[in-house]
Structure 1
């Protein structure tokens, strides 16, 4: 039987991932500290701790992959389209904006995908914390189970 303390700990495990906005790597440190200190006390807390940590590791992996794919598009666009913006100084104030490279569009689409992923991550964390508060198990979508 779940008591309110177990539900609160499981909820705080998920919500502690927001500490990354204050502490670098807080999205890993907070859940790990709460999970390790409480995993023997409850299977419910143990399951939520594993889910939260696995989700954060998966998000990190996806961000690294997306970054390594999108960075070359921006780099190649910078070196390929040096005349993208032509500024001739203050005497004859002339700005010439040429046609951007298709690489810029691909890189921008990947950047938009990263923003969408960030918003979905926030939604999933809030949903998981609400499920934990209600005493239900929650499995994050697209999560690789590193810790079983």
Structure 2
């Protein structure tokens, strides 16, 4: 049977990911520290700690993938008129905002996807915290299980 202390610890493991707004890398440090200190107290805490850490690592991986895909599109748009062989080509360098290219649309679409992903991340963290508070196990969607 779960006692309130175990439910509270599991809830705080999930909520500690919000510490990233105050501490750099707090979304990794907070859950890892709380999980490492308390994982032997119960299987419930251990399961929630692994879920929170796996979710944060998965979000980092997805963010890196989206960034890796979108940055080249942005670079190609900005340096479109620049000749890298002829260094006197800076007089031809310009950015035409009046005529957006398809690359800009792709980059903007990926940016909107990143914003939606951020909002969903916050929603999933709150849901996981509420489930932990109620004594239920929660599995984040689209999470890669790094810690099993």
TM-score (norm 1): 0.90
Q: Which residue of 2 aligns with 1:136?
A: 136
> Gaps (5+ residues) in structure 1?
86-96
> Gaps (5+ residues) in structure 2?
82-92
- Alpha-carbon offset, residue 75 of structure 1: 0.7
Q: Where do 4+ consecutive residues of structure 1 move more than 6 Å?
A: none
- Alpha-carbon offset, residue 79 of structure 1: 1.2
Q: Which residue of 1 aligns with 2:90?
A: none
Task: State the superposition RMSD in angstroms.
Answer: 1.0
Post-superposition CA distance 1:46-81 (Å, at most 9, x none): 000000000000000000000000001111111126
- Greater strand content: 1
* CA distance in structure 1 between the partners assigned to 2:146 and 2:135 by the alignment: 24
Q: Number of residue pairs matched?
A: 137
Instruction: Describe how 1:68-147 pairs up with structure 2 within 5 A.
Output: 68-80=68-80, 82-85=93-96, 97-147=97-147
Q: Which residue of 2 aligns with 1:8?
A: 8
TM-score (norm 2): 0.90
Post-superposition CA distance 1:91-141 (Å, at most 9, x none): xxxxxx531111000000000000000000000000000000000000000
* CA distance in structure 2 between the partners assigned to 1:9 and 1:56 by the alignment: 18
Instruction: Describe how 1:43-82 pairs up with structure 2 within 5 A.
Output: 43-80=43-80, 82=93
Q: Is the 8 A contact 1:44 1:137 kept in 2?
A: yes
Secondary structure of the equivalent of 1:75? helix
- Alpha-carbon offset, residue 2 of structure 1: 0.3
